Homo-oligomer: A and B are copies of this chain.
Amino acid sequence: MASIKDVAAEAGVSVATVSRALNGHPSVSPAARARVLAAVETLGYRPNAVARSLRTDQTRTLGLVISDVMNPYFTELARSVEEEARALGYSVIIGNADERPDLQDHHVTTLLDRRIDGLLVSPTDGGSPRMLEAARAGTPMVFVDRWIPGVDVPVVRSDGRAAVRDLVAHLHGLGHRRLAIIAGPAATTTGRERVDAFREALAAYGLPLPDAYIGQGDFQAGSGRRVTEGFLDLPEPPEVVFAADNLMALGALDAVRARGLRVPEDIGLAAFDDIPWFLHTGPPVTAIAQPTRDLGRAAVRALVERIAGRAGASVTLPARLVVRRSCGEPDGTTPHQSPSPVRRSTP
């Protein structure tokens, strides 16, 4: 593969001039520039980004360590991160932690070894040593979706509290009183927050959230299935199950179907994170939608700010409830809606 030396020889100039011509440096004569460009053309030369990175100490690359790529929510997040990064002249390398702390650590290490300019992470657990170390060492970093309290890093996330209140209002309006939740790992902020929000919203209606109605999941489908089976085995099963992410909702659907039961007749279902398929499940699933694209964009912008040495602000965007039919329907009438803005999807 042709190097800058070959181009210089072909153009009859020094490598310095080639470098300047290619990097748009002002002090290059039009003649020299033309000969360099011609040489580049005939040689099919492409600058070696590895060499450039070593010299300039920047890779124009962002690392994204994500909890689980197979989760449509994170897939979309990754996509919007890449889009925004590309618009700003960066590439992104995605590391899939698969909800495993050890894998998360592996990716953080690999990314750091590659000297990425900045790191976007949605921590699987309380934070791996490598990651905390990087944050302390001043590696430009921002948390997306999930975060770690006490670490001085901007957080870009969505606040589902209001949407969860809307959901509980919706369920209460439908006459449901026994409401259960499939929680995410307590080690994650989203795992904790969604349970807290749910509990608070229930309390506003004087409804309890007994321990038996809190199932411990891990954000993956299998746990949703197991937890739902447990709920179904209870002497008094819940009337509605709220899954803290879409994959656990999928698992819940699996479990209900395996028992030959039906949603919402036998048990209602709602989910955190909305995905296109929820429109077509039997029945369409009531869900809380995050502004995923905006989150990805905001996260990249905050990170690029940090890379530039500026502060990089935290951003919190609201999530919103999308009511469908999986929790039952009011008898011919519009259900009681909370005052907050609630979008009804087209049936």
Contact = CB atoms under 8 A, between A and B. Distances in A.
Nearest to A285: B280
A59 interface: yes
- Which of A1, A112, A137 has most chain B Cβ within 10 Å? A1
A141 interface: no
A30 interface: no
Contacts of A221: 276
A49 interface: yes
A188 to B, nearest CB: 20
A290 to B, nearest CB: 16
B113 A47 contact: yes
Interface string A103-139: 0001001101111000000000000000001000100
A171 interface: no
Q: Is the interface of A mostly helix, strand, loop or mixed?
A: helix
A78 B72 contact: no
A94 interface: yes
Nearest to A111: B91
A189 to B, nearest CB: 24
Contact of A70 (B47, B79, B96): B79
A224 to B, nearest CB: 12
A241 interface: no
Nearest to A138: B1
Contacts of A50: 50, 53-54, 59, 114-115
Given A75-B69, A114-B49, A283 B281 contact: no
B96 A79 contact: yes
A72 B79 CA distance: 13
A70 B59 contact: no
A310 interface: no
Contact of A276 (B46, B114, B250): B250
A44 interface: yes
A69 B59 contact: no
17 contacts: A44-B133, A48-B115, A50-B53, A50-B59, A50-B115, A69-B79, A70-B79, A79-B96, A93-B93, A221-B276, A250-B276, A253-B279, A253-B280, A254-B279, A254-B280, A277-B280, A280-B281
Given A48-B54, A49-B114, 10 more contacts: A46-B112, A46-B113, A48-B115, A91-B110, A250-B276, A250-B277, A253-B280, A254-B280, A258-B346, A280-B282
Interface of A: 1, 44, 46-51, 53-54, 59, 69-70, 72, 75-76, 78-79, 82, 86, 91, 93-94, 96, 106, 109-110, 112-115, 133, 137, 221, 250, 253-254, 257-258, 276-277, 279-284, 346
